Structure formats: C-alpha cells, structure tokens
Structure 1
Amino acid sequence: MQRLRIDLIAAARPNFMKVAPLFHALCTQSWCRLRLVHTGQHYDRNMSEAFFRDLKLPSPDLNLGVGSGSHAEQTANVMLAYERACVDDRPNLIVVVGDVNATVACTLVGAKLCIPVAHLEAGLRSRDRRMPEEINRLVTDAVADILWTPSPDADENLAAEGIPPEKVTRVGNIMIDSYELMRERIDASGERSRLGLEKREYVVVTLHRPSNVDGPESLNSLISQLTGIAARLPLVFPVHPRTRKNLEAFGLWPKLIEAHDLQVIEPLGYVDFMNLVCGARLIITDSGGVQEETTYLGIPCLTLRATTERPITITEGTNRLVTAAELVPAVDEILAGHRPDGRKPQLWDGHAAARVMADIRNRLLTVPHSATEEAAVSARSSQYVPRNV
C-alpha cells in the first residue's frame, strides 16, 4: 500500500481545534505520514502553546514563524515560507482548515506547485465581503481540489458557485470532534469552580471582531451593555489580547474591571474555556466556533454580528444574531425562559475526522503518486471521484 505524505496546516487557535481530531485519527494509520505545520500566524505564543497542550498535539514538525502583520503581510509571508518547505519536502496532500490568512496562503502554494489541496470546513458563507475571512473562504474553495463540508447549506453554497459536485464530501462538523475528544478533561477542569461560578447561573462573553472592538464608540457601547447585564447575572469575560489592547487605548479598561459581578480574566486554553461554556446560562460572543459548540450543547448563544457563515446554528441550533442595541432585550428574553429549542445538526456527532480519513483513502490511495508536475497536474484535474462517506 502506498504511503501518503500529508501536511496538516495549523495557524490561529481555532485551526488547532480543527486539526487536532484529524491529526489523532491519521497518526495511527500506516498508510500515511504526517507533517504538522504551524504557520505561527498568531502573535500570542502562550495562548497557542496552551491550545496545543490541551488538544494533545505534539510540537509542530515545522514552524514557519510568520507572526502578526497586515493581511497582505501574513498571507505573503506564509506563502514564501511554505513554498520553500514544499519544494524541500513535497507532500502528496495539503490539508487546510477554516478561514484564516494561512488557509488561503497554503492553498495558493499547493495550487501553484500542483500539489492537491483539501479544505476542511469548506462552503461556509457569511455573504459579507468586508470580512477578511469571507474572502479567504471564497478563494480557498475556488482553488482547492477536495472540499469537506460541515452542513447542507455549505454544499448548496458550493453548488451555487459552480464547484463540481465530485470535489465535495459532507463530513460533518470537526469542532464537535474536538469537544468529544476532550470531554472528560473539560468536565474535570474545575475552572468554573475556581472562579466561584454556579452552574447555569452566569454568562460567558468573548469579543474580538474588529467591528465590535476596534472603534471606541462601539466598544464603549458594548461595555456599558455588559456591565448592566452583570448587575443581574454574574458575567465572566476572558479578554482577547486584541480586545484588551483597545480597551486600554480607549480608556475603557477601568470601567470594565471595576464593574460589579463581572470577572475579567486572561484568555483560557480550550479545556478550561469549554468548562466555562458547558456550565453557562447563556453565551455572548462574536466568535464562529462558539456558535457551533453552543448549538451542540443546547446553550443559548447571542452572537454580536450582522451575519454568520454558520446559519445552521440559527435555523436548527440555539444561536441568534443581535446588535449591541438588541443585546439586553435578548438577554431579558432568555432569562425569562424564552430560549430557542435547538437540535444537533446531522453529522455533528464527533465522527467527522473518521469520515475525512475515509475520504482521503477513497480518493487518493488508488491514485499513483509521482513527484513530477505532470503526474501532480493529472491528479488535480482528473483523479477525484464523488464520495458517499
């Protein structure tokens, strides 16, 4: 049997959670050899290391050390560094996840070098091209050879964009795999006990989107809303480094930390954070992944955004989009018992990584591999067939 050489690309923290279940599934297989590539896109080393530790990921085989910078700088630097890595040690398959700058950068490298690329979490669309992540999603899905989707709406989006159906396999939500992988440790974390929080008697908040935290007026409005909510129900706020920097720059940090029943804490690793989420009465967030996790757990989620690339969390789950002005009334409704009755979407079952692994075998192990560009081009253009995994 052929042994595939697969690169798994990990960039920002949400990517680590999507890579981890697939890494653990594939590393036991004799038919493939993995290279874990950390682009180093995120600027907070401590937070990145905590996530690797929590998810039981080893030290990366390759760290590109890109660091922070503008969107153009990050994308260009990842392309330069990863192209050199692929020229020196060429993989048979590149697996990218999510929608960060490194995702589109590594996809473009693979396309230029005629190395097949697979995108895990393909087909998500917010319809808001002001979001850099939306541009990354569109470009990645247009170029990638294999598209692994989490939900029917993602399949529909790709079909509407003219993506051939033979490139697409619905595998389910890999974020749920991460949660199930770590469930015992999450339950045993004790983070909410350390913070003195009673189960179902507090709110968890996360904020980091530029639309919410980069302007003094919008951020001040949100802090005022949150302090008012905390006066009614204890609130815990793990503050993202970007958010803290802006709170301090706008003179809002004292207002936040002096609020009654509002605990401001450092960012948490995945295990401790999910321990907080699992025990919360409700979640206020602008994150993508938290919308999915709360839907899976049946916890009300108020998402401070105008759009979401995960509409299934609204149509089938417990998520609701709100503006800052709508936040307090929405919280009032939930506290009064008027909460959405969600359900777990199909294939959000903790087995997405197994379906991905089966799809790789079905698509690639029957394909003769060669280091020549001619064979790679042939693989990219003609060797992929529809899958029912």
Structure 2
Amino acid sequence: MIHVILGTKAQLIKMAPIMIELQEKQLEWRFIFTGQHQQTIDSLRSDFGLKNPDVTLHQHKDITGMFSMLLWMLKLISMGIFFKSWVWGKNTGPDDIVLVHGDTFSTLIGALIARLAGMKVAHVESGLRSFNLRNPFPEELTRLLVFRLSHIYFAPGDWAEKNLEKFSGQSVNTQQNTLLDSVKYSLSQPASDDLSIPNYKYALVSLHRFENIFDSERFIELIHWLEVAAKKIPLLFILHPPTVKQLEKFQLTERLGNNPNIELRPRYTHRDFLHLLTHAELLISDGGSNQEECSYLGKPCLLARNHTERQEGLTTNVRLCGNMQQLIRCIDNIEKLQSPDQFSQDSPSAYIVSWLARYVAAVDPESCQP
C-alpha cells in the first residue's frame, strides 16, 4: 500500500501531480491529511481533480502560532501511536511505503509516525540544503531530521542527490522537481472568473517564512522595504494566514491598506496565483517554491532572504536580497533579470510513480494482477 501524508498548501500543490499519476495508473493509495493548513485546500483539491482525504488528523483552523503548533504536533504523534489502524488502515505492513514531502512540520510528523508504525518512508523533494541551520529555520533542521528518518530519497537533480551521499537511504534522482508538473498543469487551466488581474504594471508579493514573520524586528523591517518598493512599482501583497496574524499583531494592516500603491489580497489557489504571476513584472517573495516557479517562467524573482536551499534561477532571473538596498537596486534594473522560460517535457511525477509501481509489483505481485 502507498500512503501520501501532507498538510500544507505548498505540499498539496507539489504532490498533486504524483497523486494524479497514482489515480491514473490505478495504484492503491491512501491520502492522509494532517490539517496544518485548511484555507483553500478544498479548492486546490478540486483544481487538481483529487479525491477527498481518507483520513483527516486535524479539522480546525490553520496552525499559525507556535503554541498551537506544539499542541497539534503532540496530537498527531499521539494519534500515530495509539490509533495506528485508523491512521494507516488495518492491513498495513513493513512493505507499505509512506510519501512525505519537503521540509514542513507535516513532513517531519509524517515521517516520524510512519517509522513508529514500522513502514518505509520515501521523501519527495529530498536533498535540498541551505547548509545553515538558522536560515531558513526550522526548515533546514527539519530536512536533516527527515533525511535520517527516510528509507528512500526522491532527489530533484544531481546537486540534491549529492547532498544525500552521507545518509543511508536509497537515492532516486528525478532530475526535476514535481513542481514543474504542477505549474504546467495549473497554467493549462483558465483563471477563475472572479480573479482581478490589474491592467497596469505591478509586482506580486508573498512573505510567510518563519524567520521573516516571527522575528518582530525583521518583519517590521520587511514591511518598510515594501513601502519603499511601492514607490517604484505598485504591489499586490498576497496574504498568508500567519502573515495576516503578524500584521494585525503589530497594527500594520491598516497602514498598508491606506497605502495607495499597495493592494492587500487573500491567498489564492495555485492556478490563480500563477495567472497573477505571469502578468506581473516581478515577484518579491521569501518562498522556495516561488523561486522555482519563477525559474520555470523566466520571471524576475527577488528573494527576501540571505540563503536559499534551491539552485533554480540563481544564475539567471532570481536574486537573493538580504537588505533593502539590494532589493531596490534589483527593482531599478529588473529588465536584466528577464529570461526565457525553462519548461521541460520531462515529468518527474510520472518517473516517481513508475518507480513506486515497480516497488509495489516487487513486494506484492498479486496487487498487480488484473
């Protein structure tokens, strides 16, 4: 049996192509949802044509605070220990394989409870490193822990695979990230009828990383950056739930809302976000997935970070901007960051599912009989 466990919007976006392949190849699989994110998850599932979760471990609000995160983690670990048959199903065994993705708390919890249940763990998007435990935090630490817990690494390229050499699991090089398949799929679909795309030049903004929004001094500094950047180009600021919470905490929501060059927008589905991105002049973000999406699209991307775990776009259209001067300088010279799109015909998701099909056939030949 194949199990897919995830809990965030980004994980669902990047695992959706694998789940679609599993459905199309009619492999038996279960979808376990940790509930770390709730907003837009159902619409995302609908956009990708995915089934409902077989099990939902948490059904309340998004996990946005540190205390709620701790309680949620303890709850999920307890469920994995004391309600094993409910979480994984009754006919589990040591050859069952559990797919976890990326570097979130849902990744770590999924890998941990899978190991406690005696199953094999396969880590998708494995091998990414910043080589700095404090930046990004806690993602870099999470990755190292998940490497230790995993049996199989699906590494999106040679560099990522090399980073796994000292770990004991089996490495499988998928050459590209499954996000490539997600971007191609989402852009093949029309935008929502009610999506408002400005008819003027604008920059898209997305900030949500732990080290940026939960460090009060850093967060207030970043908001100042945006106010200065807005004098250069109008901004569409896409608000993630933790970002909204921090803006309200520091009484910044009204200040930004009163800025005529900054428009606050809710978080969108992947499809609508990409349609906004394709029409934007550039993206200001702290997200690794956004960096990768921009590398595929050839869209200028200014990362409000000092380090990144990804290599995509760093020599072409992506720039690390650790201070405001770097950010403004890049905006002033944005035409130099325009580059051709980097779409490939390869499908890393199909490659992963083909590998899983061979694995299932080897450990359970009867499951492949018509």
* TM-score, length basis structure 1: 0.83
1:218 and 2:218 matched: yes
Mapped to 2, the partners of 1:202 and 1:191 lie a distance apart of 19
Mapped to 1, the partners of 2:364 and 2:198 lie a distance apart of 58
1:33 and 2:25 matched: no
1:19–1:89 Cα change, 3 Å? farther
Contact map agreement 2:121 2:150 (CA 8 A) in 1:
yes
1:96 and 2:92 matched: no
Equivalent residue, structure 2, for 1:387: none
1:149 and 2:155 matched: yes
1:75–1:350 Cα change, 3 Å? farther
Equivalent residue, structure 2, for 1:319: 318
**Structure 1 residue 343, shift from structure 2 partner:** 6.3
1:248–1:10 Cα change, 3 Å? same
**Structure 1 residue 195, shift from structure 2 partner:** 4.1
Mapped to 1, the partners of 2:175 and 2:123 lie a distance apart of 11
Contact map agreement 1:74 1:101 (CA 8 A) in 2:
no
**Structure 1 residue 48, shift from structure 2 partner:** 2.3
Matched residue SS, 1:117: strand
Aligned residue identity for 2:361: L
Q: Which has the higher contact order (CA 8 A, sep 6+)?
A: 1
Query: Out of 155, 176, 179, which is 1:175 matched to?
Result: 179
Query: Out of 2, 7, 10, which is 2:3 matched to?
Result: 7
Equivalent residue, structure 2, for 1:113: 117
1:23 and 2:19 matched: yes
Equivalent residue, structure 2, for 1:52: 45
Contact map agreement 2:204 2:237 (CA 8 A) in 1:
yes
Number of residue pairs the alignment of both structures matches: 352
**Structure 1 residue 329, shift from structure 2 partner:** 1.5
Mapped to 2, the partners of 1:121 and 1:157 lie a distance apart of 12
Equivalent residue, structure 2, for 1:303: 303
Matched residue SS, 2:211: helix
**Structure 1 residue 72, shift from structure 2 partner:** 4.2
Mapped to 2, the partners of 1:182 and 1:16 lie a distance apart of 13
1:81 and 2:79 matched: yes
Equivalent residue, structure 1, for 2:127: 123
**Structure 1 residue 332, shift from structure 2 partner:** 1.1
Contact map agreement 1:208 1:242 (CA 8 A) in 2:
yes
Contact map agreement 1:51 1:270 (CA 8 A) in 2:
yes
**Structure 1 residue 308, shift from structure 2 partner:** 0.6
Question: Unaligned stretches of 5+ in structure 1?
Answer: 371-389
Mapped to 2, the partners of 1:340 and 1:280 lie a distance apart of 12
Which structure 1 residue ranges, 4+ long, deviate > 6 Å from structure 2?
A: none
1:135 and 2:141 matched: yes
* TM-score, length basis structure 2: 0.87
Contact map agreement 1:148 1:171 (CA 8 A) in 2:
no
Mapped to 2, the partners of 1:146 and 1:10 lie a distance apart of 17
Matched residue SS, 1:36: strand
**Structure 1 residue 212, shift from structure 2 partner:** 2.0
Contact map agreement 1:38 1:62 (CA 8 A) in 2:
yes
Matched residue SS, 2:188: helix
Matched residue SS, 1:313: coil
Mapped to 1, the partners of 2:294 and 2:198 lie a distance apart of 22
Mapped to 2, the partners of 1:299 and 1:149 lie a distance apart of 24
1:109–1:221 Cα change, 3 Å? closer
Equivalent residue, structure 1, for 2:336: 338
Equivalent residue, structure 2, for 1:354: 350
1:73–1:132 Cα change, 3 Å? farther
Q: Deviations over 1:37-89 (max 9, x none)?
A: 111122xx333223223222222111011753545444332222234223644
Matched residue SS, 2:176: coil
